[in-house]
Amino acid sequence: MPAGQGTLMDFASFLIQMLNSLQYGLLLFLVASGLTLVFGIMGIINLAHGSFYMIGAYLAFVLTSATGSLFLAILLGIPLTFIVGAFLEWALFSHLYKREHLEQVLLTYGLILIFEELRSLLVGDEVHGVDIPAIFSASIPLSDVLSYPVYRLVISGVCIVLAVALYFVIQRTRLGMMIRAGNHDRTMVEALGININMIYRVVFALGFALAALAGMLAAPISSVFPNMGSHVLIISFVIVVIGGIGSVWGALIAALVIGFADTFGKVLLPDYAGMVVYLVMAVVLLWRPEGILKKG
Amino acid sequence: MSSLNSTIFKLAGLALLACVPLTGESFYVELAAKTLVLAIFAMSLDLLVGFTGLVSFGHAAYFGVAAYSVALLSPKYEAASLWYVLPASVGLSALAALVVGLFVLRTKGIYFIMVTLAFAQLAFFVFHDTPLGGGSDGIYLNVKPTAAIAGWVPFDLDNATHLYYFILGALVVVYAFLARILQSPFGRVLVGIKSNEHRMQSMGYLTFRYKLAAFALAGGLGGVAGFLYAVVFGFVTPELLSWHQSGNVLLMVILGGMGNLVGAIAGAFVFTGMQEVFGNWTKHWQLVMGCVIVAAVLFMPGGLSAVPGRIKRALQGGGSNE
Amino acid sequence: MGHNLNKAFKFGIGMALAAGLTSGAQAADDKIKVGFMLPYTGTYASLGNAITNGFKQYVAEQGGKLSGREIEYFTVDDESDPAKATENANKLVKRDKVDLLVGTVHSGVALAMAKVARENKTLLIVPNAGADEITGPLCAPNVFRSSFTNWQPAYAMGKVAAQKGYKKVVTLTWKYAAGLQSIDGFKEAFEQAGGKVVKDMTLPFPNVEFQPFLTEIASLKPDAVFVFFAGAGAAKFVKDYAAAGLNKTVPLLGSGFLTDGNLDAMGDSGKALQTTLHYADGLDNKKDQAFRLTYAKTYKMQPDVYAVQGYDAAQLYGAGLKAAGGDVSKQADVIKGMEAAKIDSPRGAFTLSKAHNPVQDIYLREVQGGQNKVIGIPTKALADPARGCKL
């Protein structure tokens, strides 16, 4: 360990890397929360979830170009993706509940191909940037050489607000109660006279909108490019596996762990960075084959 | 279905495949060779998905491990011996499958699908990120392995025709091997696990061991395909281990009808055929492919594997048996 | 089982038929077949189009013919995907049987093309990809390049960095051939001149999450940072670098691809960036002015270095055809003609090295008023060392 000033600087940059990890982890949580809900409540494996993220990012690009404002784009985008999500559930996913996982894999794999090609037909294959809204485009000086972009803090803030909101919805509302009940036993809920199909539709649409929102928020910092959903999809899978299927809180913990492992892996072990998150997953599986927090 | 009829069909198909190099069109010979390699790959996955009931979504990992093994075990500008690199690369992919199997077979259902996928991603990044592989650009196999045994050269893999027949031979061997395995007591246990694992357990079988053996075996046979792929194209990239590759081979198995080795071969041909036809037809061939897949799942309840049977019943009902 | 067999059977027949048909359709025609294998989709799509435009512009200037022969174009989109590279190259070489293969942008894909070209003895001109091996250990009589090696511009920047008095430099790039070889070229010149590269950092291509690396750079506080990025990712990097405030204290250096074609996207964050490349804005040469005027008129946009490289690929092939009297079957004569050519390029005249790579001036450029203005020539007539080439 270098002494004096060196250690002090190292600690400062360690804190900044922590901030980077937190921001990345929270964004991943936003994507993974929808995935784990759909997995846990409906028992559906949805490979197209990464495409929802991609769709969100492209919506941000298209709507920002059209309206001139990312705020407007997001305000329009959330209800839009919610409606599309509800439609998809009605048209496709509602037919999958009683099917084998293999068929779910297949159908959603086909959906990925369709979404990517539609994206290619409608928007093209170029990489696009989305401008950060002017009021968040500043940077805060953190050390004598480094500044931190305000927009990244905004993303983290939005994600935290949403996580809290999700907590309230699930723990304190009637909808949340029904979701929790549906998670345990479908027939029982139906016996109580609750319209489970409507719950499924809302949950699925919510999952779509959350993933798309993550894509919209990330668009200015990640740019918008073809196949951007597939990396996010696999990382989300890992998060769901680590956190435990169906557990939103497991997903939150897992997303933060992954954000941390990925960020520090990139800097400390660049040759092994891609593997770090999967190694974390392997260790967790050895320790708890059903994830940190079992569902329920 | 008479077994004689079936044997005649198989031999006719084989004879037809054996004729492909006679066309002398090197592009199509190579395309056919690639398809045969994928057919071996699909058969290896069918052992898991179709016969044992394990839906692995990370089978490309073992294909890739073997392909990379060839590239890494061969000297840079000299030929390696086929009799060394073939068993070594197949052995390494089987070993990789054995180790991964120890982890993934602890899980079931959705978990199993996701965890096999995640381990395949881990393997992807081993070759993508570490100094072992050549990064996203991959590695070249500059010289194909030599089949020389103490100075005697039975065939030359640099010769496209020899290589084609070598691959065709490998296909026949893998097919015969799997067919034999499936008729053995071991194979019967696997099929039993697929239909009801609890029953097999209560009958005293240690199903975990059987599943692990099947997983490693499938990995090794997938490795045979990976080995051949590297030899055909002389080039390996991390994309060989990507989840798209795992998805594609799963698709081949399902197209051909799960639990049917000849079906897996047919699935590989249908898949590459669709790719070529749609690909030449439109730049957006994936859109067509995606729609075909979605429609197939939605409008064929009970799964695609039921389709051949249904069509056959329809054909037999109509009396138009070919 | 019978049905599946049937499927296999029918498909087999179909394939055999298809093979037979195409061989029959191989009718004799006297057009020269040129195959473009370039990215027309993805990150590098605009580069692929610029190269194609440049090539066609030269042919058009010659009246649509080279040495009296008409040109027929075949195109394959390589998607910058190395995994499909061999198959894609085979489509042009084995299926379409082109006389000249032109491609590509991505180094990994170009390596696969060079391999196919060598094995089939098809003439190949690489109009961009800078992979050192193509005109290094993997060089071949029938493989040419009209662009650069990754080593060339980076080596020049290494000299510049040392001249500026920088001692301690950090590098960052995508982990692929183009990036890693650029870093090596930079290091070679910089460390020869007494500098020290204190840390090499990489991230997978085409990942653009730079934040952790910017934090690391800030904590290392080097005298300068050398990077290799290209296309949209490069614009993103320069913007992030400025947003992190690093541009005020740590100068950013790069191969010219950092700013080429990206100046609009970078906006103010690109101001006064210095890069090295074999082409620049404001070159004082007539050929360049004429080229730019025609290009702008024809394609309604400004040409870039990629268009120049495509244009020169056509010039190079034209020189070879001329030497062979337009007879593509005399490949040895075509090659001799190309080797001896002095190309009057918009970048300034150049000749080819023994390994078939341009021997060319590398310019130092600075971003001024939305252009990469030339401000010096740190290395004149720089030849790639072509290590490992036995030509």
A270–C215 C-beta distance less than 8 A: no
**Nearest residue of chain A to residue C219 (CA atoms):** A13
A84 close to C (CB below 8 A): no
Chain A residues 127-146 with a CB less than 8 Å from chain B:
none
A251 lies in a domain?
no
**pLDDT tens digits along A100-143:** 888 899 899 999 999 999 998 898 877 788 888 888 888 888 87
Helical (H) or strand (E) element with C202:
strand C196-203
Touching B (3+ Cβ pairs <8 A), the chains are: A, C
A6 lies in a domain?
no
Closest CA to A266 of B134, C212, C171, B132: C212
Tell me, what's the pLDDT at A25? 95
Closest CA to A208 of A59, A64, A104, A70: A59
Q: Where along chain B do its domains lie?
A: 9-242
pLDDT band at C201 (very low <50, low <70, confident <90, very high): very high
Q: Which chain C residues are Cβ-neighbours of A13 within 8 angstroms?
A: 215-216, 218-219
Percent share of chain A, pLDDT over 70 = 92
The phi and psi torsions of A223 (rounded to 5 degrees) equal: 60, 175
Q: Could you tell me which CATH class the domain C32-148+283-360 is placed in? A: alpha beta
Measure the CA angle with vertex C318, ends C312 and C321; round to 5°: 150
A146 close to C (CB below 8 A): yes
Between helices C305-323 and C45-61, what is the axis angle to 10°?
A: 40
**Nearest residue of chain A to residue C239 (CA atoms):** A221
A63 lies in a domain?
yes
b vs e for C83-99, b when ≥16 Cβ sit within 10 Å of the residue's Cβ? bbbbbbbbbbbbbbebb
Residue B154 vs residues B101, B158, B162, B225: alpha-carbon distances, Å:
37, 13, 10, 21
Task: Answer yes or no: is pLDDT of C176 > 70.
Answer: yes
Architecture of domain C151-277 in this structure: 3-Layer(aba) Sandwich (3.40)
Contact B300, A137 (CB under 8 A): no
pTM score of the predicted model:
0.84
Q: Which domain does A163 fall in, by range?
A: 17-130+142-225
A120 close to C (CB below 8 A): yes
3-state helix, strand, coil in chain C (%, to 5): 45, 20, 30
A149–C243 C-beta distance less than 8 A: yes
Contact C326, C68 (CB under 8 A): yes
Q: Where along chain C do its domains lie?
A: 32-148+283-360, 151-277
DSSP state of B57: S
A9 lies in a domain?
no
What's the token pair of residue C264? 């609009």
How many domains are contained in chain A? 1
Sequence-distant (≥ 6) Cβ neighbours of residue B298 within 8 angstroms: A92, A95, A107
C215–A20 C-beta distance less than 8 A: yes
Q: How far apart are CA C350 and CA C353, in angstroms?
A: 10
A99 lies in a domain?
yes
Closest CA to C155 of C378, C389, C388: C378
**pLDDT tens digits along B34-77:** 999 999 999 999 999 999 999 999 999 999 999 999 999 998 77
**pLDDT tens digits along C291-331:** 999 999 999 988 989 999 999 999 999 999 999 999 999 99
Tell me, what's the pLDDT at B136? 76
Closest CA to C173 of A241, A15, B191, B135: B135
Tell me, what's the pLDDT at B210? 96
Does ipTM surpass 0.90 in this model? no
| Bridge partners, residue C331, by sequence | none
A230 lies in a domain?
no
pLDDT band at B301 (very low <50, low <70, confident <90, very high): low
Identify the sign of the CA torsion B192, B194, B199, B200.
positive
Query: Do the strands C168-174 and C224-228 form a parallel or antiparallel pair, or are they unpaired?
Result: parallel
A117 close to C (CB below 8 A): no
pLDDT band at B1 (very low <50, low <70, confident <90, very high): very low
A149 lies in a domain?
yes
A200 lies in a domain?
yes
Length of chain A: 296
